[in-house]
Amino acid sequence: MWWLAHGEHDVPAGAQWLSPREQALLAGIRYTKRHVEFLTRRYAAKRALATVLGRDGTADELARIEVRNYPGGAPYVTLDGQATAIELSLSDRAGWAVCLVGAPGTALGPLGIDLEIVEPRSRGFVEDFFTAAERDAVLALPEGEARDEAANLIWSAKEAALKVMKVGLRADTREVEVSLDGMRRADGWTSMTVTARGGAVFPGWWRRDGLFLLTIAGTARREPPALLAGGGLATAKPTHSWLSRPMR
Ligand SMILES: CC(C)(COP(=O)(O)OP(=O)(O)OC[C@H]1O[C@@H](n2cnc3c(N)ncnc32)[C@H](O)[C@@H]1OP(=O)(O)O)[C@@H](O)C(=O)NCCC(=O)NCCS
């Protein structure tokens, strides 16, 4: 399992690295924010996939690799238009996109990744979207950085698990409960576990890089993903470039 992050500033100019299908999809996006997010997610995904598939990162090669979506939104990978069995999950936040990918040919089961930033979350947010145990744990923390980190981390872990379940935010976020009980490793990853009300368990990991919080989840406890060359979040700064031009 590997992960990779790229910022919107990494996205190549021009459309040659996109398939004709992706170019058509992009042409239909009028909001700058969605446009930039789509491009950044696709760039991170294609770079990660090219590496695990052993292909070079030329525009022509990247255009052959696509991430498409099932009707419910969950992603799948195609190569030259043919579906592959590669597991992948995507997320973006504040100008940065992350991709989690499994090795081709391994039966990892579904994966989930989510990227957030540490930002204020209201008491109402915590009360509406968190389970009683999560709410009590967050509200027991002093207001400010500690509480904001915990609230965003729990939110992110829920989203990662809901992506593993392939339901996304159509589900009630209180259907899954996050346990943050792990020890931080030297490489920055801390283990965590998400448990669904029905009993399914989604073990995962989280890390903090600057203002960014990254969570990943799967269906079994594994080693944390390795970072692919060329893109982490160590020096990433949140950007909101779309604000200066909301419509394209
Ligand atoms: C999944 C979801 C929680 C992501 O939330 P978000 O914080 O807005 O977005 P993120 O950047 O973290 O993730 C976006 C990625 O999640 C993935 N995703 C979307 N729905 C998913 C699902 N049901 N299961 C797993 N992954 C999903 C996609 O890969 C998407 O990127 P892509 O569209 O470029 O392929 C949210 O989009 C959702 O619940 N969507 C379901 C409802 C919906 O509107 N579906 C759209 C049908 S096309």
Residues making up the chain, counted from first to last: 248
Please name the residue whose Cα sits nearest to atom 46 of ligand 1. Answer: 73
- Place 216 in a pLDDT band, splitting at 50, 70 and 90: very high
Could you tell which of 31, 90, 166 is best to mutate to test the pocket of ligand 1, judged by most ligand atoms within 8 Å of the CB?
A: 90
pLDDT digit string, tens, across residues 64-88: 999 999 999 999 999 999 999 999 9
What pLDDT is recorded for position 245? 80
Q: What's the 140 CA to ligand 1 centre distance in angstroms?
A: 31
Residues 83, 193: contact at Cβ < 8 Å? Answer: no
With 90 as the cut, is the pLDDT of residue 47 above it?
yes
Residues 202, 196: contact at Cβ < 8 Å? Answer: yes
With 90 as the cut, is the pLDDT of residue 181 above it?
no
Place of tokens 């009707």: 71
- Give the residue range(s) of CATH 3.90.470.20 domains in the chain: 1-108, 109-222
Could you tell which of 22, 34, 41 is best to mutate to test the pocket of ligand 1, judged by most ligand atoms within 8 Å of the CB?
A: 41
Residue 73 gets the label, from left (phi > 0), alpha (psi -120 to 50) or beta, of: left
Please give the residue that has the higher pLDDT: either 239 or 44: 44
What pLDDT is recorded for position 171? 85
The stretch 196-205 carries a mean pLDDT of 97
How many CB atoms sit inside 10 A of residue 16's CB? 12
Please give the residue that has the higher pLDDT: either 94 or 182: 94
Using CB distances shorter than 6 Å, the residues near ligand 1 are: 38, 41, 67, 69, 72-75, 90-92, 114, 159, 162-163, 166-170
**Sequential DSSP letters for 116-158:** EE-----HHHHHHHS-HHHHHHHHTSPTTHHHHHHHHHHHHHH
Task: State whether CATH 3.90.470.20 applies to domain 109-222.
Answer: yes
Which atom of ligand 1 lies closest to the CA of 93?
A: 11
Residues 56, 148: contact at Cβ < 8 Å? Answer: no
The stretch 210-221 carries a mean pLDDT of 97
Which atom of ligand 1 lies closest to the CA of 167?
A: 23
For 241, which DSSP code?
A: G
With 90 as the cut, is the pLDDT of residue 106 above it?
no
Q: What's the 90 CA to ligand 1 centre distance in angstroms?
A: 8
With 90 as the cut, is the pLDDT of residue 28 above it?
yes
Please give the residue that has the higher pLDDT: either 112 or 243: 112
What pLDDT is recorded for position 246? 81
pLDDT digit string, tens, across residues 118-156: 999 999 999 999 999 999 999 999 999 999 999 999 999
Please name the residue whose Cα sits nearest to atom 45 of ligand 1. Answer: 73
- What class has domain 1-108? alpha beta
Residue 133 gets the label, from left (phi > 0), alpha (psi -120 to 50) or beta, of: alpha
What pLDDT is recorded for position 198? 93
What pLDDT is recorded for position 1? 96
Question: In this structure, what are the phi and psi dihedrals at residue 32, rounded to the nearest 5 degrees?
Answer: -60, -40
Q: What's the 163 CA to ligand 1 centre distance in angstroms?
A: 7
pLDDT mean across residues, the chain:
95
What pLDDT is recorded for position 211? 97
What pLDDT is recorded for position 247? 81
What pLDDT is recorded for position 242? 79
Return the bridge partners of 115, or none.
214
What pLDDT is recorded for position 197? 94
